[in-house]
Amino acid sequence: MFSKVLIANRGEIALRILRACKELGIQTVAVHSSADADAMHVRLADESVCIGPPAALDSYLNIPSIMAACEITGADAVHPGYGFLSENARFARILDEHKIAFIGPSAAHIEMMGDKIEAKRTARKLGIPCVPGSAGAVNTQAEALGAAREIGFPVLVKAASGGGGRGMKVALNEGELAVAWSTARTEAKAAFGDDAVYLEKYLGKPRHIEVQVLGDGRGNAVHIGTRDCSLQRRHQKLWEEANAPSITAAERDRIGEVCAKATRDMKYSGAGTVEFLYEDGEFYFIEMNTRLQVEHPVTERITNIDIVYEQIRVAAGEKLSLVQNEIQFWGHAIEVRINAEDPVDFTPSPGTITYYHPAGGVGVRIDSGIYQGYKVPPYYDSLIGKLIVHGRNRAECLQRLRRALDEFVVDGIKTTLPLFRRLADEPDIISGDYNIHWLEAYLAGTKK
């Protein structure tokens, strides 16, 4: 096992990782920008190193600074959290060259899944159902037209290096294809420095359902259920549930086993998320994320599995501590993301937290590093915490969410908490009848 883990992240996830390390008896190093000196995880870590000024490019994304912090502190492993360097194959490789473990999959797996065309090719080869689409990159307008005719309209042009929805363009018919293809290429080039694009059948009203997998790189792998992450705004998830409410236990086990087998067959090591669009009873693979995800606590809550503990174990070369037939699912969990944002127009709301009273009681978990007097810096993502509630079933879970939200007080800044209190009373939310467009339509006042 590792003796000292450097946590290359900030905010609630840095604290989450620190907690797992402490429970494993591992020493912790917090690295932070000058704007994060007062963060809770910095206070709780055994050691801390300031790695640069507020701008993430100069601190949390600054590989030489982080390598220097590893060297100074003698850390033997790095946990990258989510975002920042968590899916940076070059960072994983540099750590490897310095005999420091990257707590995550191999650089090769990160690279493969970072290329969406390669990821899809791999998924199909491993028996994962995919969205019908072009065989690979579509490099000319004529190729695009040929592929689109074969797929059938509407089609979606996607960036090979994409993710997060950037460089994505819909073409409803042949007349729209040329413009969609060329603007997608231009956007992809500008955003990712790579103009490769591919085509898929456009699904109009899917749910976003993902499968959490864990592998140990030695041919052992399990799935630990599904999550529905359809409630999002501009590709920012706001509300996540486990298991996905719209599918049966049999459907979950079937798609879960397909993903676990794929994880096993590619000798994947660590935590992974296989993302699907789900429409009319069918799953369609879109991407695989090779990192810990923001929404991992809902899965932890219904399975009693500590995902970060498993990540650390397998990165240290130990076998997975889990076998599929011992994994059980207990009730239902919902996570809502507490962002320092206006709950109506979502403008950022950094500043000092003048009063903090977190919810508590049975079935409530809060992952957050905030405290009364903490100053939310303006430089980073607005996520300041997550409220996770559990119930024996979805109805109980929703009622517990309402109860927890009624208790929760964060004063001094605006947060998304009031939005969730409203959502918890919406008939479509109560019935579980929503897709990836529902929240944006609701916020626009049109509702579906």
- Reduced DSSP (H G I as helix, E B as strand, rest coil) percent helix, strand, coil of the chain, to 5: 35, 25, 35
Instruction: Note whether 287 binds ligand MV4 by CB under 6 A.
Output: yes
Other Cβ atoms less than 10 A from the Cβ of 44: the count is 16
CA distance 431 to 298: 19
Binding span for ligand MV4 by CB under 6 A among 142-150, 199-207, 244-252, 424-432: 199-207
* Per-position b or e across 336-358, b if 16+ CB within 10 A of its CB: bbbbbbbbeebebbbeebeebeb
Query: Which 3 state secondary structure label does DSSP give 140?
Result: coil
Query: Which 3 state secondary structure label does DSSP give 227?
Result: strand
CB 413 within 8 A of CB 352: yes
Instruction: Note whether 180 binds ligand MV4 by CB under 6 A.
Output: no
Query: Site for ligand MV4 (CB under 6 A): which residue of 266, 286, 302, 423?
Result: 286
Query: Site for ligand MV4 (CB under 6 A): which residue of 36, 187, 195, 200?
Result: 200
Instruction: Note whether 20 binds ligand MV4 by CB under 6 A.
Output: no
DSSP string, 126-138: TT--B--B-SS--
- Is 93 noted as a catalytic residue in this protein? no
351 CB contacts (<8 Å, ≥6 apart)?
340, 375, 376, 412, 413
Instruction: Note whether 112 binds ligand MV4 by CB under 6 A.
Output: no
> What is the DSSP pairing of strand 77-79 with strand 4-7?
parallel
Q: How far is the CB of 250 from ligand MV4 (least distance, A)?
A: 24
Instruction: Note whether 131 binds ligand MV4 by CB under 6 A.
Output: yes
Catalytic residue among 291, 313, 337, 394: 291
What crossing angle do the helices spanning 107-114 and 116-125 adopt, rounded to 10°?
100
Other Cβ atoms less than 10 A from the Cβ of 324: the count is 14
Q: Which of residues 217-236 bind ligand MV4 (CB under 6 A)?
A: 232, 235
Q: How far is the CB of 202 from ligand MV4 (least distance, A)?
A: 5
Closer residue to ligand MV4 (CB): 18 or 159: 159
DSSP class of 58: G
Query: Site for ligand MV4 (CB under 6 A): which residue of 436, 438, 439, 442?
Result: 436
Q: How far is the CB of 227 from ligand MV4 (least distance, A)?
A: 12
Closer residue to ligand MV4 (CB): 205 or 267: 205
Instruction: Note whether 208 binds ligand MV4 by CB under 6 A.
Output: yes
Using CB under 6 A, count the residues that bind ligand MV4.
Answer: 16
**In the structure encoding, which two tokens stand for residue 165, read together?**
């929805």
* Per-position b or e across 294-309, b if 16+ CB within 10 A of its CB: bbbbbbbbbbebbbbb
Binding span for ligand MV4 by CB under 6 A among 65-73, 89-97, 196-204, 241-249: 196-204
Q: How far is the CB of 237 from ligand MV4 (least distance, A)?
A: 8
Residue type at position 353: I
Binding span for ligand MV4 by CB under 6 A among 103-111, 197-205, 364-372, 376-384: 197-205
Closer residue to ligand MV4 (CB): 209 or 376: 209
Asked if the peptide bond before residue 154 counts as cis, ω within 30 degrees of 0, the response is yes
Closer residue to ligand MV4 (CB): 230 or 303: 230
Instruction: Note whether 156 binds ligand MV4 by CB under 6 A.
Output: yes
Query: Which 3 state secondary structure label does DSSP give 21?
Result: helix
Instruction: Note whether 290 binds ligand MV4 by CB under 6 A.
Output: no
List interacting residues with ligand MV4 (CB under 6 A).
131, 156, 163, 165, 200-203, 206, 208, 232, 235, 277, 286-287, 436
Catalytic residues: 291
